[in-house]
Amino acid sequence: MKPLVKMIKSARFVFVCGNGGSASTAEHLTNDLFSKGIKAICLNSNTSIMTMIANDFGYDSVFSRQLAIYGTNKDLLITISCSGNSPNIVGALLMADGLGIKTYVFETFGEETDYGRLEDKHLKLVHQLKNLL
């Protein structure tokens, strides 16, 4: 947990993204980071940008295209996903790698395959991060 806190504190911007229920958790994390004075942007929150990218380039690009415009090698990308294999999440991680953006991936399905339990773990991590910041 402390390495993640250090990554967050040293980032120029923290980008966060997720799909479905994880999108809500991404917004929650972004809100908590912002409340602690961290420059944070939730990539799944701007519906006009997301729908333009989805319409013009495909849904798989909704996060990576934003990173291509906003991101620098001084930033951090946090992805929140139960499966971890959604094409738009994978694309964001690949774009981040190409731009030199540090990444942190919330736990994905492994031994735990219950969405509710994993989403609860994600939200618990969000609250722990806020408390540590």
Q: What domains are there in the chain, each with its CATH number?
A: 2-132 (3.40.50.10490)
Q: Is the pLDDT of residue 112 over 80?
A: no
Q: Is the pLDDT of residue 102 over 80?
A: yes
Strand partners, 77: 15, 103
The per-residue pLDDT for range 26-71, each reduced to its tens digit, is 999 999 999 999 999 999 999 999 999 999 999 999 999 999 999 9
Residue 63 per-residue DSSP state = T
By residue count, the chain amounts to 133
